[in-house]
């Protein structure tokens, strides 16, 4: 008799099998090496052709505090966060709480060496004797602690039906073919797998079977994809200061650049500089942009705060720069390892005075790659900073995606004059020749003496000469407003998926898309239809107002407290402001489809009022609808 029913209800026969459709959470302590084990399971499901996604919920310390790794397996391709039915419990500190959180019928694979006291008889338990399984493994000290996590890989593989050959392939990918590391980890997996085969009686319904739904797909993080896009966009300087969750963006750049950006003799044609702080980092990026290089930095909310003054300078002096903000929960230090969309309002207007920036809003690794090079094209074309707002969930977690498409057009350097063009056309740095608000510039090294100009943050005239005359100041600011209107026609447009006579319309952006798109399918099964519009950039294009105008009320879903994008759209579209209904969440966790469905059903029961709700006080004022 096996021990699968030891503490719980014994199911000798399953009422039904649940195949390729479940969520699992692995509970461990930070710094114990569990990430290797978790990514091995994730990659194994992916190699079996099953759509899968993993989310790492980890603490902001180096070692010791609880961490949870969520794996969603879905033959339908859904990858939003879902409450888990399966638990791997390897952390004594959270054991009771983790077990209590499981739904009835759930599964608990737990370290038998930990004290588990549970009166729940509606779960299936699989205790794993970790110390016993490791006693003959020839590793010592900290390495044994790290490798202990491979015991749950072996047990879970047996219970779910993952072959050892697939596990070995996943380990080979993780360790880059380093056979000694592969063998030492695989030894423990095999021991645990064999023990489970001979000692456990499977009494739960969950299992996996091979599919072909990941054929031709890749898996990587958003930070890796964005960094690769920046390389293909011609970035030759990266200056940064470490901050979670953006550091891995620069780590990826340091991996890709030596392979893709070298001269004829193999010499580097790039520079990656760790600055003394964020002020120095953005200063280097702005200086490089002024000199004609394509330069990028990566940070998060606290770093963006420090970069505000230089970004205002770049906006007003009209210098290209690209900044990736991998958003986390603020304000202040906040929750450094939780996700949010809390920097949208600040990023859009960062800098004092009348400042507005181009902001890109990726939602997938494909868009991270695309915006990685598009951001540099836009920065050069518009001669302005471009901010790419990803988030911790997209940036640090592994996502499936299609292989990236190589940029189909040459780099867009914008209005840059050669020495000959300066001679023939003349040169006034801040004169709007074409009526689009974008002036012509020259780069250092231009041999024509008339090409020189002084990039200043003070008032200046069309020739870049210092001026405090009111007409020069107003003319320059009005021209920058014209340039921002031009930007509306150049940034990536919204993605609209509209259903005629839909019951509900939703506007959203970034990684909220996965919960919203799953909720849409489930609501359709309930007889409710949704029209969707996903924003990909600010400033908005004409299609955004047209979509909102077609619906009496639009839910705008975002992960911040105050409805920051709602405020931006209401400001841009005052005649439609009353139609935009803010729906917000800020618990640091990615949205679930269940949460979206609840919000939709709540709004369906509330009539359109024709009022604008103040996002801070909750009070409303009547406006024309």
292: left (phi over 0), alpha (psi -120 to 50) or beta: left
Domain annotation for the chain: domains and CATH numbers: 18-207 (3.40.920.10), 220-401 (3.40.50.970), 419-488 (no CATH), 495-622 (3.40.50.920)
- Are 69 and 54 contacting, i.e. CB atoms less than 8 angstroms apart? yes
Instruction: Give the pLDDT of residue 610.
Output: 59
The angle formed by the CA atoms of residues 253, 256 and 258, to the nearest 5 degrees, is 105
| Residue closest to 50 by CA, chosen among 26, 18, 27, 9 | 18
Q: Distance between CA 196 and CA 152 in Å, rounded? A: 10
Instruction: Give the pLDDT of residue 614.
Output: 53
For strands 335-339 and 86-89, give the pairing: unpaired
Long-range contacts of 574-578 (CB under 8 A, 24+ apart): 575/624, 576/545, 576/548, 576/549, 577/612, 577/623, 578/610, 578/611, 578/612, 578/623, 578/624, 578/625
Q: Distance between CA 576 and CA 579 in Å, rounded? A: 6
- Are 513 and 545 contacting, i.e. CB atoms less than 8 angstroms apart? no
Instruction: Give the pLDDT of residue 9.
Output: 43
Q: Give me the half-sphere count of Cα atoms (radius 13 Å) on the Cβ side of residue 579.
A: 21
- Are 394 and 368 contacting, i.e. CB atoms less than 8 angstroms apart? yes
DSSP label at 466?
B
Instruction: Give the pLDDT of residue 142.
Output: 72
Question: Which residues lie closer than 8 Å to 24 by C-beta, 6 or more apart?
Answer: 70, 71, 73, 84, 85, 86, 87, 88, 156
Instruction: Give the pLDDT of residue 7.
Output: 42
H or E element at residue 30: none
**Burial annotation 508-541 (CB, 10 A radius, 16+ → b, else e):** bbbbbbbbbbbbbeebeeeebebbbbbbbbbbbb
- Are 291 and 230 contacting, i.e. CB atoms less than 8 angstroms apart? no
Q: Distance between CA 190 and CA 529 in Å, rounded? A: 49
Three-state secondary structure readout of 292-339: CCCEEEEECHHHHHHCHHHHHHHHHHCCCEEEEEEEEECCCCCEEEEE
Q: Distance between CA 217 and CA 51 in Å, rounded? A: 10
* Residues recorded for the chain: 625
H or E element at residue 195: helix 179-199
Q: Distance between CA 389 and CA 537 in Å, rounded? A: 9
Instruction: Give the pLDDT of residue 611.
Output: 61
Give the N- to C-terminal CA distance of the chain in Å, as an integer.
69
| Residue closest to 321 by CA, chosen among 455, 453, 419, 435 | 455
Q: Distance between CA 156 and CA 162 in Å, rounded? A: 8
The separation between CA 98 and the C-alpha centre of its own chain, rounded to angstroms, equals: 26
Lateral strand order in the sheet of 21-29: 52-57, 66-74, 21-29, 86-89, 107-111, 124-128
Question: Which residues lie closer than 8 Å to 287 by C-beta, 6 or more apart?
Answer: none
Q: Distance between CA 534 and CA 19 in Å, rounded? A: 32
Cβ count near 551 (within 10 Å): 20
For strands 237-240 and 52-57, give the pairing: unpaired
Q: Distance between CA 167 and CA 183 in Å, rounded? A: 12
Burial class (CB in 10 A: 0-12, 13-18, 19+), 233: buried
Instruction: Give the pLDDT of residue 179.
Output: 95
Burial class (CB in 10 A: 0-12, 13-18, 19+), 418: middle
Regions in the chain scoring below 70 on pLDDT: 1-15, 62, 608-625
Question: Which residues lie closer than 8 Å to 42 by C-beta, 6 or more apart?
Answer: 52, 54, 71, 398
Q: Distance between CA 214 and CA 45 in Å, rounded? A: 10
H or E element at residue 486: helix 470-488
């Amino acid at each position: 008799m096996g021990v699968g029913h030891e503490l719980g209800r014994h199911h000798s026969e399953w009422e039904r099998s649940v195949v390729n459709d479940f969520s699992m959470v692995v509970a461990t302590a930070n710094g114990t090496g569990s990430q290797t084990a978790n990514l091995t399971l994730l990659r194994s499901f992916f190699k079996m052709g099953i759509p899968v996604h993993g989310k790492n919920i980890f603490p902001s310390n180096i070692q010791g505090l609880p961490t949870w790794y969520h794996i969603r397996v879905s033959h339908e391709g859904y990858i939003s966060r879902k409450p888990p039915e399966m638990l791997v419990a390897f952390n004594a500190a959270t054991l009771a709480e983790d077990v209590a959180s499981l739904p009835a019928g759930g599964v608990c694979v737990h370290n038998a060496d930990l004290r588990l006291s549970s009166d729940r008889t509606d779960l299936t338990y699989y205790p794993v004797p970790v110390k016993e399984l490791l006693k003959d493994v020839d590793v010592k000290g900290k390495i044994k602690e790290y490798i202990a996590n491979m015991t749950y890989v072996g047990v879970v593989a047996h219970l779910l039906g993952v072959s050892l050959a697939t596990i070995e392939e996943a380990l080979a990918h993780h360790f880059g073919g380093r056979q000694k590391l592969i063998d030492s980890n695989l030894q423990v997996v095999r021991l645990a797998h064999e023990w489970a085969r001979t000692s456990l009686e499977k009494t739960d319904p969950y299992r996996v079977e091979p599919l072909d739904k990941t054929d031709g797909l890749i898996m990587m993080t958003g930070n890796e994809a964005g960094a690769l896009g920046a390389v293909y966009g011609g970035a030759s300087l990266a200056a940064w200061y470490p901050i979670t969750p953006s550091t891995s963006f620069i780590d990826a750049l340091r991996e890709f650049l030596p392979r893709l950006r070298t001269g004829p003799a193999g010499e580097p044609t790039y520079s990656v500089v760790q600055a003394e702080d964020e002020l120095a980092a953005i200063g280097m990026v702005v200086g490089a942009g002024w000199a004609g290089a394509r330069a990028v930095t990566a940070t998060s909310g606290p770093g963006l705060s420090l970069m505000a003054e230089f970004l205002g300078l770049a906006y007003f002096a009209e210098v290209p720069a690209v900044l990736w903000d991998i958003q986390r929960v603020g304000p202040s230090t906040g929750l450094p390892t939780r996700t949010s969309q809390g920097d949208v309002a600040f990023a859009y207007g960062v800098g004092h005075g009348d400042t507005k920036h181009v902001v890109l809003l990726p939602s997938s690794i494909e868009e991270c790659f695309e915006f990685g090079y598009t951001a540099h094209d836009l920065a050069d074309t518009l001669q302005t900073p471009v901010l790419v707002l990803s988030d911790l969930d997209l940036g640090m977690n592994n996502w499936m995606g299609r292989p990236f498409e190589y940029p189909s057009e040459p780099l867009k350097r914008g209005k840059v004059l050669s020495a000959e063009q300066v001679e023939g056309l003349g040169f006034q740095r801040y004169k709007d020749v074409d009526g689009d608000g974008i002036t012509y510039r020259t780069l250092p090294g231009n041999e024509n003496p008339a090409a020189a100009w002084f990039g200043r943050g003070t008032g200046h005239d069309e020739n870049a000469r210092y001026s405090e005359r009111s007409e020069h100041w107003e003319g320059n600011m009005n021209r920058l407003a014209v340039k921002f209107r031009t930007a509306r026609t150049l940034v990536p447009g919204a993605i609209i998926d509209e259903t005629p006579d839909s019951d509900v319309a939703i506007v959203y952006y970034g990684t909220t898309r996965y919960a919203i798109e799953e909720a849409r399918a489930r609501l359709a099964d309930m007889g409710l239809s949704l029209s969707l519009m996903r924003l990909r950039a600010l400033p908005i294009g004409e299609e955004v107002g047209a979509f909102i105008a077609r619906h009496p009320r639009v839910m705008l879903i975002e992960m911040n407290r105050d409805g920051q994008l709602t405020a931006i759209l209401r400001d841009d579209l005052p005649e439609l402001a009353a139609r935009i209904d803010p729906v917000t969440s800020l618990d640091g966790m990615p949205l679930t489809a269940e949460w979206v469905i609840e919000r939709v059903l709540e709004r369906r029961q509330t009539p359109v009022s024709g009022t604008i709700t103040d996002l801070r006080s909750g009070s409303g004022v009547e406006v024309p609808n």
